[in-house]
Amino acid sequence: SQLCVLGAGPGVRVGGFLDRFVGMLSGLLGILKSWAAYLPLDPEYPQDRLAFLLTDSRASIVLTDRALASRLPTTEAKLLL
C-alpha cells in the first residue's frame, strides 16, 4: 500500500485527518493493516491543537483528502491524499 511505501509500519505514527464515516473507516483500516499507530486528528480541532498533536506525537505521515489538506498546520509529516 502507499502507506507502507511512505514508511508506515510498527512504531510509526500515522495521523488520520479525515471526515467521519467512509473516509475515516477506510483510512483507519489502511493504517491498521500497515501495523502503524493511529493518531486521530479531528477536522474540528483548532489549528494550534492540531499542531501540538502532530509535534508531540511525532507523526511521520498524515492521511487526509484534498478538501481538508489546506486546513492542516505546517508539519514535517508526509501527506498522503
Strand order in the sheet with 78-80: 37-40, 13-17, 61-64, 78-80
pTM more than 0.75:
yes
| pLDDT for res 32 | 87
Write down the pLDDT at residue 22: 62
pLDDT at 45: 92
pLDDT in tens, the chain (81 residues): 788 888 899 999 999 898 877 667 788 888 889 999 999 999 999 999 999 999 999 999 999 888 888 999 988 899 988
Q: Looking at the DSSP assignment, which residues form a beta bridge with residue 40?
A: 16
pLDDT score of 13: 95
